[in-house]
Amino acid sequence: MSSSRQVWAFPTALIAIANISATWYKLVSERVPEPYLDEFFHVPQAQRYCQKDYTWDPKITTPPGLYLASLLIKPIAGCDISALRALNVGAICLICLLSYQIRRLLRQPLSPRRTKKGLSTPKSQDDDTQTSLFDAHTALNISLFPPLFFFSGLYYTDVLSTLVVLAAYSTYLSQRRTQNYLLSTLITVNIGVLALLFRQTNIFWVAVFPAGLAVVDTLKYYDELLDAPVEVAGPRHYSAFLLYLPRDVLGRPTAVIKAVFPYLILLGLFGGFVLWNGGVVLGDKSAHVATIHLPQMLYLWPYMVFFSLPLTLPSLLQPILPVLPKQLRSLITTNLTGPSSPTTPSALAAILFNAFAIAAVHFNTIIHPYTLADNRHYVFYVFRILFRHPAVKYLAVPAYYICALLTIRILGARSAPKARPKNQNQQKPPSAKHDSSVQISFVVVWTATTALSVITAPLVEPRYFIIPWVMWRLHVPAEPGRAATVRLALETLWLLAVDAGVGYMFLTRGFEWASEPGKVQRFMW
């Protein structure tokens, strides 16, 4: 029975997302048959490409990857709006597939030093039913992520862009085990360039992010990195990691350069493009002028918590458990929180975070003209609340801190137990000291990459945070026990509820602007 559940776990998830996305696509096609909003630019551009007319619309600022993909499938599907939108239905299913594959790859920790010493490396239970179900369920939930899933029914860049970034990350995880360095470099560079054909900011996720992780892997190979599991880490661990990292890198310069060389090539190619193009964006550059916008890193945390709210339940409920009746406490512990207790927040971390946040809000809050000029987007209503009174943006700072704390705590959850070596006398890999599969090195690299990808954008867009959320969600550990399974199911229901609510508003709650009578405007991300 367990074996059957394991075998059918991922196919079931794939069938589920295929049916859900196909239903969404059908509803959009019936209710909104004409191009809407950005489709007004994307659809004609794609149709010109299909006719071998490569004239560029200067109002389009992203690269032509979406249109090239449409050109490739033209012989099979055609280039009408229905066929163009269907491309993203296939892409969201492939995102589910790649998410599952990445989860499985993340279960294969490297310990090459032990291989060199002639010691066999204990492997995690890749075939374990519980983790297989968790990975399949995680892949489904990632595919249902509302700011991503919504665009699977429209002709936008985001779904295919995310797909190619995941392909690049999957390649990085796979190539860590290859012995053919030249082939690995060629594959890495080619997939990275492909990702850049969809969105310029992908450079951070196909070059900077894997380069940072490659440095970490290289230093761990030589047992020279001062790392720690997230669940036990405090400010001193992060400080020590950042303090000693330059020393560790300088101690192995040749190995580090070799590890990051493919990503240096990508950065060089991207730099060449920027020089040739006269800037990062294509077309009209006036509305996309890069600037420093630090509060983007504050808006990130409520975003993360909102979309995975059920995963925060252990941290939210643990403080009140002691005052609850014994039966209710036992019920909640068994079905929602599990037995683990969150660590006490660091006072120093809280002070530093809030001090930075207040300074960023006071000196660097930027309101792009588009943000408060377009009431079709939910961000418009969020910022109307934030700026209803001058004090509100400062009162939000503690909420940013709490959400950041919850987000990192989720990464610090105890993961499912690993298989023990057959020979109990064999040495354990370094990670065996703790059950958590997430180290502070990942948190540092992920946070730095996210910051680089969003703080140069003056416009606040939910779509800008899609890849940071996806990468974070991929690394949430698989916890053993009923409580984790229940939270995962609740996350699915929550994501479906948000998807349904946003879909309902988009399809049925249209309105008109006085300036454009007779034209339906729709709510969307």
Decide if 357 contacts 403 (C-beta within 8 A): no
Instruction: Count CA within 13 A, CB hemisphere, residue 163.
Output: 24
The count of other CB atoms within 10 Å of the CB of residue 428 is 15
CA 416 to chain centre: 22
For 469-525, give the DSSP string. Answer: HHHHHHTS----SHHHHHHHHHHHHHHHHHHHHHHHHHHH--EEETTEEEEEE--B-
If DSSP codes are grouped into helix, strand and coil, which group holds residue 439? strand
Under 8 Å between Cβ of 403 and 345: no
CA-CA distance, 400 to 397, in Å (whole number)?
A: 5
Helix (H, G, I), strand (E, B) or coil at 149: helix
pLDDT in tens, the chain (525 residues): 556 667 788 999 999 999 999 999 999 999 999 999 999 999 999 999 999 999 999 999 999 999 999 999 999 999 999 999 999 999 999 999 999 999 999 988 665 453 344 334 444 444 466 788 999 999 999 999 999 999 999 999 999 999 999 999 999 999 887 778 899 999 999 999 999 999 999 999 999 999 999 999 999 998 888 899 998 888 999 999 999 999 999 999 999 999 999 999 999 999 999 999 888 888 777 666 778 999 999 999 999 999 999 999 999 998 888 888 988 988 888 888 887 777 788 899 999 999 999 999 999 999 888 888 889 999 999 999 988 899 999 999 999 999 999 999 999 876 554 444 444 444 343 333 334 569 999 999 999 999 999 999 999 999 999 999 999 999 999 888 889 999 999 999 999 999 999 999 999 999 999 889 989 999 999
Compute the half-sphere exposure of residue 485: CA atoms within 13 Å on the CB side of its CA. 11
- Taking a C-beta distance cutoff of 8 angstroms, is the pair 209, 102 a contact? no
Residue 508: which residues within 8 A CB-CB, separation 6 or more?
A: 31
Burial class (CB in 10 A: 0-12, 13-18, 19+), 432: middle
CB atoms within 10 A of CB 182: 7
Residue 24's CB is within 10 A of a number of other CB atoms, namely: 22
What is the per-residue pLDDT across 388-438, written as a single tens digit (0 to 9) for each? 899 999 999 999 999 999 999 999 876 554 444 444 444 343 333 334 569
Give the global pTM: 0.91
Contacts of 130 (CB under 8 A, 6+ apart): 416, 478, 480
- In this prediction, residue 430 carries a pLDDT of 38
Task: Identify the three-state secondary structure at position 412.
Answer: coil
> For residue 2, what pLDDT is reported?
58
What are the structural domain ranges in the chain?
A: 2-113+125-417+433-492
DSSP string, 316-327: HHGGGGGGS-HH
What pLDDT is recorded for position 431? 38
CA distances from 32 to 92, 148, 287, 396, 513 (A): 20, 19, 27, 37, 18
Closest by CA position to 138, among listed 493, 474, 497, 496: 474
Structure tokens at 427: 């040495």
